[in-house]
Amino acid sequence: MRVMAVAVQKGGTGKTTLAASLAVAAAESGERVVAYDLDPQGSLMAWGALRRQNGITVDRIQAWEIGQLPDILDQTSENGTTLVLIDTAGAATGATPALRAADLVLVPVRPSRLDLVAARPTLQALVGLGMRSRLALVLNQCPPPPSARTDAYAAQLRGLGVLAEPGIVQRVDHQDAVAAGLGVTEYAPQGQAAGEIRALWGWIDAKMRG
Residue 64: which CATH number?
3.40.50.300
Q: 3-class DSSP state for residue 38?
A: coil
Confidence category of residue 85, pLDDT binned at 50, 70, 90: very high
Residue 12 C-beta-side C-alpha neighbours within 13 Å: 8
Number of domains in the chain: 1
- Domain of residue 150 covers 2-209
Confidence category of residue 185, pLDDT binned at 50, 70, 90: very high
pLDDT one-digit tens code per residue, 2-30: 999 999 877 778 999 999 999 999 999 99
Higher pLDDT among residues 52 and 37, named by residue: 37
b/e sequence 44-74, b meaning 16+ C-beta within 10 Å: bbebbeebeeeebbbeebeeeebeebeebbe
Q: 3-class DSSP state for residue 84?
A: strand
**CA–CA distance, 2 with 99 (Å, rounded to integer):** 13
Min mean pLDDT across 97-111, 119-133, 184-198 is at 119-133
For residue 82, give the nearest of 210, 178, 209 by alpha carbon: 209
pLDDT one-digit tens code per residue, 112-136: 998 888 888 888 888 898 999 999 9
For residue 38, give the nearest of 17, 57, 65 by alpha carbon: 65
Handedness of CA 148, 15, 8, 2 (dihedral sign): negative
The predicted model gives 167-195 an average pLDDT of: 98
pTM: 0.95
For residue 139, give the nearest of 161, 164, 162 by alpha carbon: 164
Do 89 and 98 form a contact (C-beta atoms < 8 A)? no
Min mean pLDDT across 8-17, 58-67, 86-95 is at 86-95
Mean residue pLDDT across the chain: 93
**CA–CA distance, 16 with 6 (Å, rounded to integer):** 8
